[in-house]
């Protein structure tokens, strides 16, 4: 029994340290000032928030959270999302604004998903919503699908909608949220 308590305590401290490092890193990046008093306030604030939230912020094991392969795929996703998907979607919407003669076929479509983790499901739904021209209206966990308002419905076939709207997002999120 004593060994189990010690292992749980070590995992709790590791979780606390991981959340502290992330929060303190964000603090430093946002403040941008590296004066001693700023660093002290940031460290104390990060430690306090990490103490109360580390159990909520890090579920499951800690080891998989620092896996370099998962971080690599998270960076690949970030680059894909911000420098390809977002830019492509913005140009599509801008083209429709500047050329009113282009057809707009708005509608709500069913988009199935295969992502298993809650974080992955939410990440894909947010990526869909943050991409111009699409908004996730509902996540139906029972049917494992999103209902998405799409500015230009190409098809009502759920598999076509998945391919056009969410398949790339899912492909990457599965690699770092598995």
Query: Could you list the mean pLDDT of each consecutive 10-residue stretch along the chain, which spans 178 residues?
Result: 57 84 90 90 94 77 70 88 90 89 90 90 93 95 96 95 95 84
Q: Tell me the DSSP string of 89-140.
A: HHHHHHHHHH-TTS----EEEEEE----SHHHHHHHHHHHHHSTTEEEEEEE
pLDDT of residue 142: 96
**Full-model pTM:** 0.69
Please state, in angstroms and rounded to a whole number, the distance separating the CA atoms of residues 31 and 140: 39
């Amino acid at each position: 029994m004593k060994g189990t308590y010690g292992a749980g305590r070590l995992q709790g401290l590791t979780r606390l340290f991981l959340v502290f490092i992330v929060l303190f890193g964000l603090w430093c990046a946002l403040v941008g000032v590296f004066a001693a008093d700023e660093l002290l306030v940031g460290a104390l604030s990060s430690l306090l928030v990490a103490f109360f939230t580390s159990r909520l912020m890090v579920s499951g094991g800690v080891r998989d959270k620092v896996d370099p392969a998962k971080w690599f795929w998270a960076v690949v996703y970030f680059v894909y999302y911000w420098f390809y998907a977002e830019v492509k979607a913005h140009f599509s919407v801008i083209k429709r604004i500047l050329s009113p003669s282009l057809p707009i076929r708005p509608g709500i479509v069913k988009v199935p998903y295969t992502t298993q983790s809650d974080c992955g499901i939410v990440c894909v739904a947010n990526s869909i919503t943050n991409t111009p021209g699409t908004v996730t209206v509902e996540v139906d966990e029972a049917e494992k699908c999103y209902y998405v308002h799409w500015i230009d419905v190409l098809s009502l076939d759920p598999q076509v909608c998945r391919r056009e709207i969410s398949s790339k997002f899912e492909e990457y999120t599965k690699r770092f949220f598995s």
